[in-house]
Amino acid sequence: MTITVPPVHRRPGLPDRVTIWEVGPRDGLQNEAAAVPVAVKAELVERLVGAGLAVVEVTSFVHPSWVPQLADAEDLYGALSHTIAESPGVRFPALVANLAGLERAQSCGVTDVCVFASATESFARRNLNRSRDDALCMFAPVVAEATGAGMGVRAYVSMCFGDPWEGTVDEDDVVAVCERLLEMGCDELSLGDTIGVATSGQVTDLLDALGRRGIGTDRLAVHFHDTYGQALANTLVSLEAGVTTVDSSAGGIGGCPFAGSATGNLATEDLCWALAGAGVETGVDLGSLVATSTWMAAQLGRPSPSKVVQALAGDEERP
Ligand code: MG
């Protein structure tokens, strides 16, 4: 008999409830080679909301030549208009890179946006085509405009733990970038381990360093990649340190763009299994989520890298 729900053993030190910030439709699909039709993207978002996810990052309003996979942002929000109207309390954020992107998002009725900063100089130059400071300057008017319009603003901080061109990242650099983003008015910072190299002690060291500068875990989310198999361990120590918002991708979709391996984002199912077993509420129905990721894997033409999806999806075929 397959165990489809983990036995619950409450772990002291973990929060009662965690908000999962589902990044699959945006961060996942932007790293997939396959072009996904807008109807499939809309169905993915709808099914994720149906599975109980309260935040589903939908897409990016960036120039189509940067991320051709997400060039259909307007069409996708159009296709989701009923779902959004009928889902009070669910957030449907989008990534924006500049004021033009923010305007596009606003014209689609988007209420929460994200900007994408880098803790390192090399990644800023390669991903944003400008220096780290210039990139921050580019975001300042976007954040001001969005907060002025009453929108929620999250900032992703990528390469917080390691950088493929610079190696280990200096904690002080991460702290400085985080301070700048909060000064600009961002509500929340998502600390990204973009190449998945962090280990648990490094994570608590960075959270401690941020705390010493007055940046509490109430302003922080964590975004781990499973490239080296550390994403869940790093997430759990972050929760023990007080973080209550975690980014993950349904089915673990989205390969790591800089590591040449199939594993990228922490899979939402793997996160949900661990949290359910620890008695931490997420509001997510694991069975619905696994069914969604199994369906999405068929759309993408490759199996989900999520261990929990693999364990549960073939359930009916086993004795
Ligand atoms: Mg990611």
Per residue in 278-288, pLDDT tens? 999 999 999 99
How many whole angstroms from 306 Cα to the centroid of ligand 1?
Answer: 14
**Contact yes or no for 106/153 (Cβ under 8 A):** no
Name which of 85, 94, 78 is nearest 25 in CA terms: 94
Stretch 119-135: mean pLDDT, rounded?
Answer: 87
Instruction: Name the amino acid, one letter, at 137.
Output: C
Q: How far is the CA of 75 from the centre of ligand 1 (A)?
A: 23
Neighbours of ion ligand 1 (CB under 5 A): 27, 265
> Does residue 314 register a pLDDT over 80?
no
pLDDT at 246 over 70: yes
Residue of 170, 178, 164 whose CA lies nearest to 127: 164
Q: How many residues does the chain have?
A: 319
Q: What is the per-residue pLDDT for 219? A: 98
State how far the Cα of 138 lies from the Cα of 180, in Å rounded to an integer: 12
Q: What percent of the chain has pLDDT over 90?
A: 80
**How far, in Å, CA of 24 to CA of 315, rounded?**
23
pLDDT of 261: 57
Is pLDDT at 255 greater than 90 in this prediction?
no
Residue range 193-237, pLDDT digits in tens = 999 999 999 999 999 999 999 999 999 999 999 999 999 999 999
Alpha helices, DSSP H, located in 188-301: 200-212, 231-240, 268-277, 286-300
* pLDDT for res 259: 54
pLDDT of residue 123: 87
> What is the C-alpha separation between 265 and 65, in angstroms, rounded?
23
For position 90, what pLDDT does the model report?
98
More confident residue, 308 or 68: 308
In the chain, where are the structural domains located?
A: 19-311
Q: How far apart are CA 110 and CA 77, in angstroms?
A: 8
Q: Angle at the Cα of 214 (from 174 to 249), degrees rounded to 5? A: 50
The pLDDT, as a whole number, for residue 262 is 53
**% residues pLDDT > 70 (the chain):** 95
CA–CA dist 69, 65 (Å, integer):
9
Residue 171 is predicted with a pLDDT of 95
Give 25's DSSP letter: I
Q: What is the pLDDT of residues 33-68, one digit of tens each?
A: 778 999 999 999 999 999 999 999 999 999 888 888
Distance CA 160, CA 197 (A): 10
- H or E segment to which residue 15 belongs: none
If you average pLDDT over residues 20-32, what whole number do you get? 93
Distance CA 263, CA 240 (A): 25
Residue at token pair 């994200």 = 114
Number of helices and strands in the chain (H, E): 13, 11
Into which CATH architecture does domain 19-311 fall?
A: Alpha-Beta Barrel (3.20)
Flag whether pLDDT at 242 surpasses 60. yes
What's the mean pLDDT in 66-92? 95
Ramachandran class of 13: left when φ > 0, alpha when ψ lies in -120 to 50, beta otherwise: left
- Give yes or no: 108 in active site: no
The beta strands (E) that lie in the chain are given as 19-22, 55-56, 59-61, 94-96, 112-118, 152-158, 162-163, 167-168, 188-193, 220-224, 245-248
The one catalytic residue among 114, 186, 256, 272: 256
Task: Compute, in angstroms, the gap from residue 319 CA to the centroid of ligand 1.
Answer: 36
Token pair of 94 as six digits: 């989008």
**Span 141-162, pLDDT tens digits:** 999 999 999 999 999 999 999 9
How many angstroms separate the alpha carbon of residue 316 from the centre of ligand 1? 31
What's the pLDDT score for residue 319?
42
What is the structure's pLDDT at 66? 83
